[in-house]
Structure 1
Amino acid sequence: MHAFVTVGSTRFDTLVQRALSDSVIDVLRSKGYSKIVVQCGNSDFNTESYERCGDCWVRKGDEDIEVWRFKESLQEEYKQADLVISHAGSGTILDVLRMRKPLIVIPNETLLDNHQQELASALVNLGHLKASTVLGLPEAIRRLDPSSLIPFPPFVGSRFKEMLDDEMGFA
């Protein structure tokens, strides 16, 4: 199985470092994830245990752990993943939930107004995903039961028009 961790275009050093920690890698392995890919954006991480391999870094002695900064699109990574762990950015959340992939989000508490926490909490309450803190990530992975997640409803473009018409008094 394949786990994908992403911070999108942001910098989220603590999430990247935690995702690459032995405690997270060990729990992912214990849950059957053999391939672990981390998209780190502009985040810092300790490259000492990694070898540069083209556009990415591969963990020395474990070619199934790779880290890269950016790709044009994350869609292929989402498709391949059996689990996505992400910052709580709205674009990432929507993309992953629409693909019906299990998702654990970690709101970046350093962002102004904590909007990521609000979005994560609302979607947790609806049962679509799980949320965690950076420190709680190993336990969140351990406790995740993908079958308990409620599938996100498919996008229906006409619903937006109907809501807008109703709000504006055209209906």
Structure 2
Amino acid sequence: MAEADEDLKSRRTVFVTVGTTCFDSLVRAVDTQEVKEELFKKGYTHLLIQMGRGSYIPAKSTGENGSLEVDCFTFSSSIADYLRSASLVISHAGSGSIFETLRLQKPLIVVVNEDLMDNHQSELAEELAERKHLFCARPQTLYQTVADMDLGSLIPYQPGDAAPVAKLLNSFLGFPDD
């Protein structure tokens, strides 16, 4: 029993999520030998990839011979447990995934899908990266982002307080104060 607990404590998982979309270029980028080797060099032991609707299936690995253990799946009814147990999250640029990860105060690399039309998601990711809450990458720059990332440079995200805005709206609409 103590050995199993120790294994869980030493487990450092990178969780990759593409949400419900097809984002094969992210899955391919994280599945490269150079990215996996860099993650392993940084002390990560497991790579779990949620690949969504994509057709590219990453190579699974048992983690023998000094490498990452790699596993993947398509969908889950909730990724909350995966996010909570992750040591690092690599995510598509969906606002739900970004803010859920930041609320959990997990280090985050957001990879922007440049194939999307009118890509407003890149604006959010780039702004939060500029504020040093996360790292922002493209599929072709993921390796360099992982190699260069300094988790100590990240600033924890503090969600804003919506109560004053709600109070103002309620007052404007004639609703009583609570």
TM-score normalized by the length of structure 2: 0.82
- Name the larger-Rg structure: 2
Q: Pairwise mapping of residues 10-159 of structure 1 onto structure 2 (< 5 A)?
A: 10-46=21-57, 49=59, 58-59=60-61, 64-154=69-159, 156-159=161-164
3-state secondary structure, aligned to 1:37 = strand
Change (3 A) 1:98 1:60: closer
Q: Any gaps of 5 or more consecutive residues in structure 2?
A: 1-11
Residues 3 and 160 (structure 1 numbering): CA distance in 2 closer, same or farther, change over 3 Å? Answer: farther
Counterpart residue number, 2:5? none
Distance 1:35 1:61, change over 3 A: closer
Give 3-state SS (helix, strand or coil) of 1:123's partner: helix
Runs of 4+ in 1 over 3 A off after TM superposition: 60-63, 154-157, 162-166, 168-171
User: Aligned residues: percent identity?
Assistant: 37
Amino acid at match of 2:80: Q
- In structure 2, the residue corresponding to 1:72 is in which secondary structure? coil
Q: Offset of 1:27 from its aligned partner? A: 0.6
Corresponding residue of 1:54: none
Who is 2:4 aligned against?
A: none
CA 61–120 in structure 1, closer or farther in 2 if over 3 Å, else same? closer
Aligned positions, number? 161
- Aligned partner letter, 2:25: T
Tell me, in whole angstroms, the C-alpha distance in 1 between the residues paired with 2:100 and 2:126. 18
Whichever structure has more strand as a proportion of its residues is: 1
Structure 1: give runs of 5+ residues left out of the alignment. 50-57
1:119 & 1:108 partners in 2: Cα distance? 13
Q: Deviations over 1:104-126 (max 9, x none)?
A: 00111111101111111111121
Partners in 2 of 1:140 and 1:146 — Cα distance?
Answer: 11
| Deviation readout 1:118-139 (Å, 9 max, x if unpaired) | 1111111211111011111111
